[in-house]
Amino acid sequence: MYWNLFVSFLKIGFISFGGGYAMIPVIEYEVRAHQWLSTQEFTDVVAIAGMSPGPIATNSAVFVGYKVGGMLGAAISAVAVSLPSLLIVVLLSLFMYKMKKRNFMDNAFYGLRPVITGLIAYAAIHFAMQNDMIGTSKLLGFEWIGILFVIAGLGLLLFTKINPVMVILLSGVMGVVIYY
């Protein structure tokens, strides 16, 4: 199990381009493949990861590691997810980072960025479905309060300069007001 954690997060460490939420669906894929957590449980993990300082992908990896294998699991996940960038940064520094290299990366990013956009859009749809916001037996197949939360949150993020952490905290308070 510790070995599985290590290999899963090492893989993710190598491809975590784009930062932020881009790696969330990839981590979720690994988590589901190993049946460590359900997508709903993983959504809560992402919420906690988003509230803590530090990169959200690393935080999610550490939380998953902690849930699966306690303190040791968390430590293994942290090392595995950080190791690839450490190696790559050291190697690049060794071989000097020249303009040519940068062109090469730009070209790779030409196709990669739109794919990452698709990946994150997929993650949004997938998380909405797995959290029973779409396709359940509620009115017209939607869970309307949840949808309203999504729209309100998205509106705040798009049209104000609100900190994402505040959005999470505010929705938590609203959740208590409505559901408790």
Partner 1 sequence: MEKNKIKLLWDIFFTFFKISPVSFGGGYAMIPLLERAVTVKKKWVEEKDIADVLVMAQTVPGSIAVNTATFIGYRIAGLFGAIAGTIGIVTPTFLIIVALAALFLSFQHNPIVEAAFMGIRPAIVALIAYAAITIGKTAIFNTVTGIIAGVALILFLFVPVHPIFILIAGSYWYFIK
53 binds partner 1 (CB under 8 A): yes
Q: Please state, in angstroms and rounded to a whole number, the distance separating the CA atoms of residues 127 and 147.
A: 12
Taking Cα atoms as reference points, which of 115, 114, 147, 117 lies closest to residue 129? 147
Task: State the minimum distance, in angstroms, from the CB of residue 134 to partner 1.
Answer: 10
Q: Which of 4, 10, 14, 34 binds partner 1 (CB under 8 A)?
A: 14
Task: State the minimum distance, in angstroms, from the CB of residue 35 to partner 1.
Answer: 15
| Per-position x/- string for 67-86, each x denoting binding to partner 1 as judged by CB under 8 A, each - no binding | x---x--xx--x---x-xxx
- DSSP state for residue 138 in the 8-state scheme: S
Q: Are 115 and 26 in contact (CB under 8 A)?
A: no
Cα of 70 vs its chain's centroid, Å: 20
Kindly state the tokens that stand for 81.
Answer: 């997810």
Q: Which of 6, 9, 36, 63 binds partner 1 (CB under 8 A)?
A: 63
Taking Cα atoms as reference points, which of 40, 22, 23 lies closest to residue 32? 40
141 binds partner 1 (CB under 8 A): no
Taking Cα atoms as reference points, which of 85, 74, 14, 86 lies closest to residue 49? 74
Task: State the minimum distance, in angstroms, from the CB of residue 138 to partner 1.
Answer: 14
122 binds partner 1 (CB under 8 A): yes
Kindly state the tokens that stand for 87.
Answer: 């190696």
142 binds partner 1 (CB under 8 A): no
Count of residues that interact with partner 1, criterion CB under 8 A: 102
| Per-position x/- string for 89-118, each x denoting binding to partner 1 as judged by CB under 8 A, each - no binding | xx-xx---x----x--x-xxxxxxxxxxxx
